[in-house]
Structures are given as structure tokens and as C-alpha cells.
Amino acid sequence: MVVKKSKVFNQIIAELARSFEKLPDYREGVNTRYEIKDAAVSAFSVFFTQSPSFLLYAKQLLQIVFSLSFLQKLFGVEKIPTDTQTRNLLDPLAPSLLSELFPYGINLLKEKGILKNFESYAGQILISTDGTETVSSQKLHCQNCSHRELKNGETHYFHSAILPVIVKAGNPRVLPLSPEFITPQDGHEKQDCEREATKRWVKRNSAALKGWRYTMLGDDLYSNQPLCEAFLAAELNFILVCKPDSHIELYKTVDFLAKNGLVEAFEERHWNGRHYEKHSYRFVNEVPLRQEDPLLVNWLEIIITNESTGKEIYRNSFVTNQIVSFENVVPLAQDGRTRWKSENETNNTLKNQGYHFEHNFGHGEEHLANFLATLNLLTFLLHTLLDLLDEEYQLLRKELVTRVDFFNDLRALLRYMVFDSWDDLMFFMLRALEIPGYI
């Protein structure tokens, strides 16, 4: 479903403005020339236009007379703070203050009937999550930095987060949800930090997630009993990678059952366009996840081999709370494999496709780095919403195939010209490119 001449951009920007207006102002002096909202929107516009430099972008805005008009008309900014003022205003703000904007975007897709396109087996919505670093430095650091000691004796400071996204096998898009930042408060090694952050994220979003409508996906780090129990307590299903070397007790049981003919197995033959593949499946229900006081889980395995050469192409195994059968083992395995989108279509896109996610746009002393990272994720969501809901945006992206071309053109136009609205900007670009129907 595509909304012809939709007002998606204006609708979302208005919601952003309403949310930004509620941001707290911790200033105690009389120098309140700039509104917190204007600082937040100005920072958001840096990420929306995929500018690689906060400082250069801010200087250009202040140098060009059209800039204020562009920010006023498209983003509702009243006064443009400098990059330093923007950072100072945003530094005290916790990134959790922006969390409500992510479900707003997802609900908008639901209202338009688009979210159904992300439903997987049995109508489930898959949420894949993975940890990633955002910014790092050997010089700059703050109270929310994690750190590690390097072999050369230097200290490496960094910020990291888990980035949950809604995914669907065969769908090239992902829908980012609110992040959860890993901070020194976790007091654990990296693995436990990521697990503890995931538990916090589940607890914070439990009201919206409960009802067994969502399935959590994750790598082997997540197939940990306390975390699985946290998923179940929040009424979340799970399909998690489960490796033999980290789940010794489980695989002892699987091997024993297999030797006694109690592990189900079957094969399918698939043509991949070049050669036939053999897809081999095994599964068994109610096996212990660990040795002491174990949670009983259901196990499945998929192995893909080249039929002509016998070469193994793919192998993985998963645990799930869902009963596995001959009828559902194939879609469950497919859903489990979809977790790779966390790395390829989320982390890779954010770091290498114009969002500059690991770039230090501003570190600050309190929350700035994490607040800016959250704004960057919100722009990722907005771009995805436009791609799903705005026909003119879709036409432009089809013509300007690469993300770099589109945003280079967008930044150039906004730097030197004034458009009364987002629709006017889209129409100008479509007409200039001689898109049929807009000439």
C-alpha cells in the first residue's frame, strides 16, 4: 500500500517537534536564547540529510541565508544554535527521552496496513537484536563510557548499544526500535553487559510486547537461560542460535537421543538457480538448556549442502520455546536465520551507508553521544517510513539508485534553495529528473 502524495514527512516531523518540546531544560541561568527543541531538531536534520560532519553542517547553516528558511519550513526550527550550543543543550538529556518516537513510527505502519508485510510464520513479528559499538576514542570519554585496556597500555573508551530491529525473511528493509545503551552500570564482562541491556530493553518495552505476538532472534550469546526466562516472562517467543561448544549439556542430550532414534530428521531438495541444494533438518523437543535446574527448550538444526559437490554451504542450530514439528521446522529455521539482518542490514547500513554511526558527532560529558546516536536511529526509521509510505520518495530513490546520489542532491538543493514544503522539494526533484507524470 502506497499513500499517494502522503503527508508522512510532515506528520512525522510534527510528532518529532511535539516530543522535542517535552524535553527537559536543565539550564539555570538567564541565557535561554535557544530552545531545547530547536537544538534537537537541528541535530536531527544533520542525520536526516546524512551530513558527514556536524561542524561543517552547522557552519553552512549559519553562513547561508536560506538555511533558516529551510529549517523553519521543513523542520519547524525558530532559531539555529551553533554546533557547540547544540551539543551543550543536548548533553544533559537521556536518550530514553526519545523512546516513544519509535513505537509511533511502527504504529503508523500498522495504521497504513504495511506492518502486515513484516509478519512471519504464524503471524509473528520477528525482532532481531545485536550489540554494536557507536563511538570510540583513546582521548575523549565520559561517565557513560565503557573501556578496555589495549596491549600497548592505552585505554580504549567506547559506547555500545543493542539495536533491536523488526525483520522479515526476504524483505530488504528493517524497522529499527528504540536502542538500549550498554553502560558501566552493568558491571559485567561484554557478554553479560549485552545480556543485561537486553533484559532492560525487554522490561522497558514489556507492556507493548506482551501477548506472544513477537519472536526474539539472537546469536548464541542470547541462548542463555536467564535471558530466555526473561523473554518468556514478558510473553515473548524466541528462536536463538545455539552452538555445541557453549551448550554442552544440551548437545549431550541431543546426541544421546539421536543415537536412540529419537531425533526427527528429513531432507528437501532445492534449485537455487545454479545448482541443486540439499536442505537437511533435524529437531527434537524438550531438551535441557543447561545442567542445573534447566529450562526445557526445543532444538532444531539446518544443514545446506551443494548436491553435486557435497560441499557444506550453511549449518546452524537453534533453540526455541515453540514446539517443533515436521510442519513448522522449515519456517522456524528460516526465521532463525533471519537474525543475520541485524549485522548486514542494520549495523552495516548504519556504519557504511551514509549514517556514519561510528563517527563522533559529539561526545559530551553526560549523555550527548548516546542522545545523538538515538537521533541517528530515528532518521534511519524515518527514511524507512518514507520508503514504505511516500510514493514520490519511492520514485526518486528508484531513479537515484544509490543512497549517496540521493542525499548529495538533497543536501545541495537545501543548501542553495528554499522550498515551502517537503512535497515541493520532492516535486522539484522529480520534475528535474523528468520522471513521467511530473514533467
pLDDT at 3: 41
pLDDT at 176: 96
Q: 90-126 as b/e, with b when 16 or more CB fall inside 10 Å?
A: bbbbbbbbbbebbebbbebbeebebbeebebbeebbb
Name residues of the chain where pLDDT drops below 70.
1-6, 29-31, 53-69, 185-192
Q: Kindly state the cell numbers that stand for 250.
A: 544440551
DSSP for 147-171 reads EEE-TTS-EEEEEEEE--EEE-TT-
What is the rounded CA–CA span in Å between residue 47 and residue 164? 20
Mean predicted lDDT score pLDDT of the chain: 89
> 141 and 288: one domain?
yes
> 344 and 404: one domain?
no
The cell 525558530 sits on which residue? 78
How buried is 190 (Cβ within 10 angstroms: 0-12 exposed, 13-18 middle, 19+ buried)? middle
What is the rounded CA–CA span in Å between residue 170 and residue 172? 6
What is the rounded CA–CA span in Å between residue 99 and residue 176? 11
> 200 and 115: one domain?
yes
> 161 and 244: one domain?
yes
Q: State the sign of the Cα–Cα–Cα–Cα dihedral 118, 124, 125, 128.
A: negative
Cα R_g (the chain), whole angstroms: 24
pLDDT at 234: 97
Count of beta carbons in the 10 Å neighbourhood of residue 429? 22
In a domain, 238, yes or no: yes
Contact by Cβ (8 Å): 175, 118 = yes
pLDDT at 1: 39
Q: Is this structure's pTM higher than 0.85?
A: yes
DSSP for 298-336 reads EEEEEEEEETTT--EEEEEEEEESSPP-TTTHHHHHHHH
In 3D space, the residue among 319, 326, 322, 339 whose CA is nearest the CA of residue 250 turns out to be: 319
SS3 label, residue 229: helix
| Element spanning 217, H or E | strand 214-218
> 250 and 399: one domain?
no
Contact by Cβ (8 Å): 374, 163 = no
In a domain, 381, yes or no: no
CATH of the domain at 157: 3.90.350.10
In a domain, 364, yes or no: no
282-294 pLDDT per residue, tens: 999 999 999 999 9
> 290 and 394: one domain?
no
How buried is 151 (Cβ within 10 angstroms: 0-12 exposed, 13-18 middle, 19+ buried)? exposed
Report the C-alpha dihedral over residues 214, 348, 360, 88, rounded to 10 degrees: -30
Q: Which of 348, 370, 400 is the last residue of a domain?
A: 348
Quickly list H helices, 164-224. 190-204, 206-209
> What's the full length of the chain, in residues?
439
**Phi, then psi, of 387 in degrees rounded to 5:** -65, -30
Q: What share of the chain is helix, strand, coil (3-state, %, to 5)?
A: 45, 20, 35
> 44 and 149: one domain?
no
Strand 237-241 and strand 214-218: the pairing is parallel
Q: Which of 317, 348, 379 is the last residue of a domain?
A: 348
In a domain, 128, yes or no: yes
> 83 and 119: one domain?
no
What's the domain count of the chain? 2
In a domain, 2, yes or no: no
> 65 and 119: one domain?
no
Q: State the sign of the Cα–Cα–Cα–Cα dihedral 103, 109, 115, 117.
A: negative
Amino acid at 232: L
What is the rounded CA–CA span in Å between residue 149 and residue 433? 53
In a domain, 379, yes or no: no
> 84 and 115: one domain?
no
Q: Which of 332, 348, 364 is the last residue of a domain?
A: 348
> 120 and 70: one domain?
no
What is the rounded CA–CA span in Å between residue 174 and residue 426? 24
Q: How far is CA 336 from CA 126, 215, 361, in A?
A: 9, 10, 35
In a domain, 337, yes or no: yes
In 3D space, the residue among 214, 1, 231, 236 whose CA is nearest the CA of residue 123 turns out to be: 214
pLDDT at 187: 54
SS3 label, residue 261: coil
Structural domain boundaries enclosing 257? 100-348
SS3 label, residue 112: coil
> 168 and 304: one domain?
yes
The cell 495504521 sits on which residue? 111
In a domain, 414, yes or no: yes
